[in-house]
Amino acid sequence: MIAGIDHFVLTVRSVDDSCAFYQRVLGMKRHDEPNRPTALLFGSQKINLHEVGRTFEPKAKAPTPGSGDFCLVAARPLAEICARLAANNVAVEVGPVERTGARGPMMSVYFRDPDGNLVEVSDYNR
């Protein structure tokens, strides 16, 4: 019944800081529309950003910065992702390490965004 994920929402302290991080570190593109959440575009998905105190309805029952924990599939080799993290002084918490994702074995690296959300980036093409 479900084919995939279109988007998910992160509650953040600062939309500008979050956009700058994801643009710089992971190459996402910022998208702004009047009266809509700011979005970060990547592949055929997006992350909508709700700033604390400026959320959109409907929303999570208890939106909190730093409560996200999600996995993104890399479009480039994981070594390039790790190099980009290092170049941007983003500390790797775990990895690269073997994991099992929705499509099978993969290699993953874990780090945190400015709000403390746990971001996992994975590569199925080990």
Kindly tell me if the per-residue pLDDT of 126 is higher than 70: no
Of 10-19, 51-60, 113-122, the range with the lowest mean pLDDT is 51-60
- Residue 95: both structure tokens together: 């990895």
**Could you tell me if residue 12 is inside a domain?**
yes
**Could you tell me if residue 36 is inside a domain?**
yes
Q: What is the pLDDT at residue 15?
A: 97
Domain extent at residue 77: 7-123
Average pLDDT over residues 112-125: 95
Average pLDDT over residues 8-16: 96
The total number of structural domains in the chain stands at 1
**Could you tell me if residue 29 is inside a domain?**
yes
**Could you tell me if residue 33 is inside a domain?**
yes
Residues serving a catalytic function are 120
Query: Which CATH number covers residue 42?
Result: 3.10.180.10
CA distances from 90 to 12, 41, 54 (A): 18, 21, 27
